[in-house]
Structure 1
Amino acid sequence: MKTASMAEANRQFSKLLRNVVTDGQEVTITSRGKPVAKIVPIDDAAATAEWEEAKKELFDRLAKQPAMNISWTRDDAYEDGYP
């Protein structure tokens, strides 16, 4: 596991992130020598499952909301002389 100061992480973020993505390397970010954050590779299966669950929750919530009756058209939005 690599350790980087906040200043180093700020200067070399793309490089650190590339190492995480390509090598699966974990990077601990420190501030004044104390760990404050960690950059780790994401588990694709878990990420996909989380995405699918979030999408399902969104669609379920949207299905429960009533449709809005909008009484204006796109042309109405431009009737003030805008091209």
Structure 2
Amino acid sequence: MEKIKLVVAGTELVFEPNQTAYNKFINEMSMDNKVAPATNYLNRIVASESKEALVGIISRPGAALQIVGKVNEIYAPELEIEVKN
């Protein structure tokens, strides 16, 4: 998989998502636990050159979930599924 480059609040962040990290994120997430799994996932997939910048950005309220949403929109786009009878 290619690297995903985002500019968040004026700072470039590079992520390297993979299926293992993605699956672990999905498995850790629950109705009452979303922020910690999102933060852990981002820390697992952030490129080494972006680690320090990520720490400052994900300390903002809601940032981790917004970034995860964008990364996963690119990494795991929704499939077009059609029901046939």
TM-score of the two chains, using structure 1 as the length reference: 0.26
Looking at both structures, which has the greater relative contact order when contacts are Cα pairs under 8 Å and sequence separation is at least 6?
A: 2
TM-score of the two chains, using structure 2 as the length reference: 0.26
Return the structure number with greater strand share: 1
